Structure 1
Amino acid sequence: MRIAIFTLLIMALVSCSKEDEAEPIVAMQQVIVLFSPGGVGDMAYNDQILRGVQRVRKDKDFRLLISSPSSVDEAEKIFVDWLKKDAGETKSLFVLAGNEYEQMAVKHLSSGNYTGKEVLLFETRTKDIPQAYTFSITMYGACYLVGGVATIFTDRAAVLCANSNDHTVNEGGVGFVKGFTESGGAQAPLFYLSDTWQGYAMPEAAYKKTAELAPQYRYIFPIAGGSNMGVYRYAREYPYGFYTSGMDIDQSQLSTQITSSVVKHIDRLIVDYLTQWLLGEPLPKNRVYGMQSGYIEVVLSSLCREACQSKFDELRSTAIKREEEHEKEYN
């Protein structure tokens, strides 16, 4: 059912003009959005991207194509077919909405010059990919803040990560551990579901891992995309075993055990990038966005606000400072 609904949505986005549904659009600008494999329907990051794209499409006239591939191999075929196709007079932007596509982008964009074609690649700090713009939303400061606040509930926490090879995920995990230990927490080891992109789509594995970790750790901090749903399902079934956090959007409605959520306003960011590109304004070659940008924040759950607000306010400026220090070390 979800696939059928999504297919209808794509057809509507591509074919309908806001002025006159029966009148075809003659578009000289084209945007192709390639989501992470299996990402659409995650009720978080990918769905927020889709909402942002829909918002731009409502306000601007351009040709929009959307694909949600089942694998990186399928995604690569779509990308290569686009590169090979003559753009003619159309100006085209291909949005690679996940850093699992970085190697693919480097491989193909380094081997040729593609007139009229540009690429926007999400969640990477790589600066020198030809014809590509890149950005990353660092989670270090936001996760530091969640880690510090988590010490209200326990001195033993665990971080459950999707992919051991994802810099953004690892950076968030390290930030949580730093905030947790600097606020008096004793232990916060990192655990991984996978060493590939598949770790973002393994809710059953996350559920089982949560069952394994919950007896030992009173706080489980998940950075695992769609796999987080396995953590929240376990939290609903065993609501007094541990506390946890939402990710990408405010997910406090999914469990009473969610104390806060790391909210990425990726919908706002894609709106800003697409609007800028459609207006013919230059995009930044590479940009890292942190807490000061407004594209990421921590939202306390209503059930925990009274207990956590004071600690949250006390640590927020420290979280921003630690994030800035981390960026200086990284660069």
Structure 2
Amino acid sequence: MKKAKITLFLRISLAITLLWLVSACEKEPSVTTPEPTVRVLIASSGLGDLSYNDNILRGILQAQQEFHFQLEYVSPADNKEAEQIVRSWQAEGDDPRSYYTILAASEYEDLARKIMPETSADNYLMFDTKADNLTIPTFHFTGYGVSFLAGVAAYTQTKAEKAAYIGGQRHESFIEDCYAGFRDGYKHAGGKDVVELYLSNTQKGFAMPKRAYIMADSLYRLYPFIYAMAGNSNNGIYQYLRDYPAAGYTAGVDTDQSDYSNRIIGSMIKEVGRCVKDYIGAWLRGEELPMRKWYTLESGFMNFQIAGPYKQELESIVEENLQTAIDKEKEYEKTMPAN
């Protein structure tokens, strides 16, 4: 009797097992949705500049922690390599909901015109261009207003008739706008003029700290303040002022860089990291992205932040001139030709 009960139990157990296996096989296999991918083309000057490019990556990594996505980023040697990289990305896949491609430097504007889709595509983003005829979303930081405030602060600190300006690349719109703003702010505060110099006619000027160091050695013999808008090359000026702190003063670029020299009276803060984080978040949420957006001094994404040791003397004068700088920037932008 016991043997019959055991046999029946085994048969029932086997039947239940077989039914479970059959039902499991009939179910559709589970599908795991892959994470979207954000692909970034960093400027050819590369990471490690302690300012613009590093700030971009910082914002993207913050976005990755919050939203979760795969990340690929490359800093190509030149435009030829940049084109090869983007074309290889497009060959791998260009699904608007799966891939987001960021051209994170104004030097890629010609590339954008060459290989971007003919119709509007919001899974691309082009950094810092004034162009209004691209088929992908773009944004532009206006450097005039914040540089106007830097000019006011520079004259207030030095009371010198003249100052110097070093740009990373000649004929780059943001760099030349910054010169115009600094010059006008310096003169508005009481200065006479600002001497204008450039490290290069190409984007290579943003990665020439040794050349900037040599230029600083010559310029500080004539001018007590150098306003440099040259990316990683600015580090040459900070190094010079660490070696010769009595030579003069300067300003930081893109992020608060006052830790690199006690002769940095303040820094242009350009919140490009926060900006790109917002764009990635909007894309992942499926929101409609603006095709063209400008970030001005009035936007809150740009400001001139006075360094701690100089706040007592300079912070109030900068605050007093904030609205003037905003108004002057609006006037200046009206004079600029449309692209």
| TM-score normalised by structure 2 residue count | 0.85
Report the AA paired with residue 214 of structure 2: K
Name the CA distance, whole Å, in 2 between partners of 1:212 and 1:249: 26
Please say if 1:47 is aligned against 2:54: yes
Please say if 1:146 is aligned against 2:153: no
Contact kept in structure 2, 1:27 and 1:61, CA below 8 Å: no
Deviation at 1:190, TM superposition (A): 1.1
Q: Which residue, out of 258, 279, 287, partners 2:285?
A: 279
Please say if 1:121 is aligned against 2:126: yes
Deviation at 1:120, TM superposition (A): 0.5
Please say if 1:65 is aligned against 2:72: yes
Report the AA paired with residue 144 of structure 1: F
Q: Which residue, out of 222, 237, 251, partners 2:228?
A: 222
1:220-266 Cα distance to aligned partner (Å, 9 max, x none): 00000011000110111110111100010111111111111001111
Please say if 1:96 is aligned against 2:100: no
Report the AA paired with residue 229 of structure 1: N
Residue ranges of structure 2 left out of the alignment (5+ in a row): 1-30
Which protein is bigger by CA-based radius of gyration? Answer: 2
1:156-198 Cα distance to aligned partner (Å, 9 max, x none): 1011000002101110111000111121111202100001110
Deviation at 1:129, TM superposition (A): 1.3
Name the CA distance, whole Å, in 1 between partners of 2:112 and 2:304: 32
Please say if 1:133 is aligned against 2:132: no
Query: 1:288 matched to which residue of 2?
Result: 294
Report the AA paired with residue 152 of structure 2: G
Name the CA distance, whole Å, in 1 between partners of 2:214 and 2:88: 39
Deviation at 1:118, TM superposition (A): 3.0
Contact kept in structure 2, 1:91 and 1:117, CA below 8 Å: no
Report the AA paired with residue 203 of structure 1: P
Name the CA distance, whole Å, in 1 between partners of 2:80 and 2:308: 42
Please say if 1:38 is aligned against 2:45: yes
Q: What pairs with 1:236-255 in structure 2 (closer than 5 Å)?
A: 236-255=242-261
Report the AA paired with residue 168 of structure 1: F
Deviation at 1:61, TM superposition (A): 2.7
Deviation at 1:117, TM superposition (A): 7.3
Alignment coverage as a number of residue pairs: 305
Deviation at 1:88, TM superposition (A): 5.7
Contact kept in structure 2, 1:203 and 1:229, CA below 8 Å: yes
Name the CA distance, whole Å, in 1 between partners of 2:170 and 2:68: 40
Which is worse superposed, 306-315 or 151-160?
306-315
- SS in structure 2 at match of 1:38: coil
Q: Which residue, out of 177, 181, 184, partners 2:183?
A: 177
Residue ranges of structure 1 left out of the alignment (5+ in a row): 1-23
Report the AA paired with residue 48 of structure 2: G
Identity of aligned residues (%): 33
- SS in structure 1 at match of 2:294: strand
Deviation at 1:151, TM superposition (A): 1.0
Name the CA distance, whole Å, in 1 between partners of 2:140 and 2:94: 28
Report the AA paired with residue 69 of structure 2: F
| TM-score normalised by structure 1 residue count | 0.87
Which is worse superposed, 286-295 or 219-228?
286-295
